[in-house]
Amino acid sequence: MKDKKILIITYYWPPAGGPGVQRWLKFVKYLPDFGWKPTVFIPENPSYPIVDESLQSDVSKNLEIIRTKIWEPYQIAELFGKDNKKFKAGQFDVGKNQSWKSKLSIWVRGNFFIPDARVFWVKPSSEYLKKYLKENNFDAVVTTGPPHSVHLIGLELKKEFPNLKWIADFRDPWTEISYYKHLKLTKASDKKHRSLEQKVFKTADIILATSYTDAENFRKKGANAFCITNGFDGSDKTGNTHKNPKFTLSYIGVLEQLRNPEILWSTLNQIMQENEEFKNDFELKFVGRVDDKILNEIENSKLKNSLNNVGYLSHLEANAEMQSSDVLLMTNFPDESSKGIIPGKIFEYLATGKPILSFGPRESDVKKILHETNAGKHFSYQDSAELKAFLISQYQNWKSGITSSKTKNIEQFSRRNLTGKLSEILEAETRVRA
């Protein structure tokens, strides 16, 4: 049986680093196993905030990749100095001591570039792909955002090819993302964002969400939405499971002010003050990029001598750090509207078998996953007594030589199994809507 052809339009692709690139990198890796032949369309000259050359190893030499030039207005962001990388990455300094440069960059980002600063790629990409699709038959096209401007390419292609099945993949929500309210939008800009989002929801044949809550919210807005979470790839495991000389609590990834677990730092300080043995045995490790204000807070506390700030590492190196940690930390935004956010790192954390310590809204999709897999404990930002008991119990496990938790049902989150689920949805929807 001849493979079906699927075109994936994405901004992030190796050598881009970070979790955003890995979702479709892994889908593309496994789609041929399920009878789909992928082609990838990416920018020729992107401006990636993080680069990770190790991810190139997952790109098949037989994969057809199409590249076209993009113009991005980030020379404007250079005016804002060190905030430029945050501006590119969609991260914003919204703390109490926000500088005027940060305020201005956020206002420019939200109101001048709708839906985002990659919007100038839409018109040339649409024109190129309309010609390409007339010469090459495809069964389906995928747009994946953020940047959500990529979905506007899908809108243009759907006008030209109404019978082409369009899958709009939302790795993060658009107007419901936690930082949307911090974009300092005018009423006109907010209206335009919401109007474009609604057009995508109504026009795409399939909307994909990465969390159960997001899929439900998208359906309420009229989308034909399905949840396919992110996942882990068994081939990324390093096998490094030796016990550390220190009881190591690690955070892997980017940690900004809005997800700062202050309750954790205060609880750790309390335990260290009460327990000299814990103080001598404990290590707090950061692997990735941590907000300077958070680092300053920690360096001005009892945690200072326990801090190991490694900095950014490649994906494979970061996985090795996960494997050699004793507890893995994950944080989410505290407000209830963020309950549907499932950070991609949770699945790579799951693959290690190490206990996961999670913070976020009291009820959340992350809490559901941790409960189903028996992989750790989820706390709100007020659960200090329970948090202290959890940390002490994990420390006692480390002292006893217990290096992993008894997880269950995690294979449902393997990248290959998730790709199989994607294939089933594609097959069913293309039959129903043919």
**Are 262 and 294 in contact, with CB atoms under 8 Å apart?**
no
pLDDT band at 29; cut points 50, 70, 90: very high
Could you tell me if 212 and 324 lie in one domain? Answer: no
More confident residue, 101 or 210: 210
3-class DSSP state of 368: helix
Quote the domain boundaries for residue 165: 4-73+113-231+415-432
* pLDDT computed for residue 17 by the predictor: 87
pLDDT at 86: 44
Q: Are residues 289 and 366 part of one domain?
A: yes
- Provide the mean pLDDT of the chain: 88
Q: Which one, of 244, 230, 291, lies nearest residue 265 by Cα?
A: 291
- Predicted pLDDT of residue 178: 74
pLDDT the model gives residue 1: 59
One domain for residues 20 and 169: yes
DSSP 21-76: HHHHHHHHHHGGGGTEEEEEEEESS---SSB-GGGGGGS-TT-EEEEE-----HHH
CB 295 within 8 A of CB 209: no
CA distance 370 to 189: 38
* SS3 state at 214: helix
- At residue 241, the pLDDT reads 54
User: Strand, coil or helix: what is 183?
Assistant: coil
pLDDT, one tens digit per residue, over 336-372 is 888 899 988 999 999 999 999 999 998 999 999 999 9
* Domain presence at residue 99: no
- Token pair listed for 408: 């269950």
Kindly state whether residues 386 and 310 are assigned to the same domain. yes
Q: Does pLDDT of 84 surpass 90?
A: no
Does 396 share its domain with 428?
no
Q: Is 288 helix (H, G, I), strand (E, B) or coil?
A: strand
Residue from 322, 347, 359 nearest 210 by CA: 347
Domain count for the chain, please give it.
2
- Going by the DSSP 8-state scheme, the letter that residue 16 receives in this structure is B
What is the C-alpha separation between 89 and 340, in angstroms, rounded? 21
Q: Are residues 207 and 264 in the same domain?
A: no
- Give the model's pLDDT for residue 181: 78
Torsion of CA 288, 291, 297, 302, to 10 degrees: 0
Q: Which two tokens stand for residue 169?
A: 């993949």
Task: Of 101-105, 243-247, 377-381, give the range with the top mean pLDDT.
Answer: 377-381
Tokens of 195: 């109007």
Assess if residue 45 is contained within a domain: yes
- Does residue 98 belong to any structural domain of this protein? no
Query: Concatenated DSSP letters for 421-433?
Result: HHHHHHHHHHHHT
For the ranges 46-55, 146-155, 267-276, the lowest mean pLDDT is seen at: 46-55
Sign of CA dihedral 172, 175, 178, 181: positive
Residue pair 116/148 in contact by the 8 Å Cβ criterion: yes
- Look at residue 97 and tell me if it is in a domain: no
Residue 419 main-chain phi, psi, to 5 deg = -65, -35
Q: Does 83 reside within a domain?
A: no
Task: Examine the pLDDT at 91 and tell me if it is beyond 60.
Answer: no
Q: Is residue 402 part of a domain?
A: yes
Q: Using one digit for the tens of pLDDT, what is the confidence trace for 377-411?
A: 999 988 788 999 999 999 999 998 887 778 899 99
Q: Is the pLDDT of residue 240 over 50?
A: no
Q: Is residue 274 part of a domain?
A: yes
Highest mean pLDDT among 68-77, 344-353, 415-424: 415-424
Tokens 């052809």 correspond to what residue? Answer: 5
Residues 222 and 284 in one domain: no
Cα 196 to Cα 150, 193, 305, distances in angstroms: 12, 5, 50
In a shared domain, residues 206 and 245: no
What the block records as the tokens of 6 is 């699927």
Average pLDDT score over residue span 420-434: 81
The whole-number pLDDT of residue 81 equals 43
Is residue 126 located within the same domain as residue 262? no
- pLDDT at 179 (0 to 100): 77
> What does the pLDDT read at residue 332?
92
Q: Give yes or no for residue 421 having a pLDDT over 90.
A: yes
- Sign of the torsion formed by the C-alpha atoms of 95, 101, 107 and 110: negative
Is the confidence at residue 54, as pLDDT, over 60? yes
Across 82-103, average pLDDT: 52
Q: What's the average model confidence in pLDDT over 70-75?
A: 76
Band of pLDDT at residue 83, cut at 50, 70 and 90: very low
Residue 206 lies in a domain: yes
pLDDT in tens, 115-165: 998 999 999 999 999 999 999 999 999 999 999 999 999 999 999 999 999
Closest CA to 141 of 206, 195, 70: 206
**Residue pair 365/212 in contact by the 8 Å Cβ criterion:** yes
To the nearest whole percent, how much of the chain has pLDDT over 90?
Answer: 68
Task: Indicate whether 125 and 184 sit together in one domain.
Answer: yes
How many other β-carbons are positioned within 10 Å of the β-carbon of residue 168?
Answer: 27
CATH number at residue 249: 3.40.50.2000
**Where does the pLDDT of residue 99 fall: very low under 50, low under 70, confident under 90, or very high at 90 and above?**
low
379 and 426 part of one domain: no
Q: What is the mean pLDDT of residues 424-432?
A: 81
Number of C-beta neighbours around residue 88 at 10 A: 18
User: Looking at the structure, do residues 399 and 419 belong to the same domain, yes or no?
Assistant: no
- Beta-bridge partners for 251: 286, 329
Neighbours of 124 (CB within 10 A): 14
Q: Strand, coil or helix: what is 410?
A: coil
Q: Which of 94-103, 191-200, 203-212, 224-233 has the lowest mean pLDDT?
A: 94-103
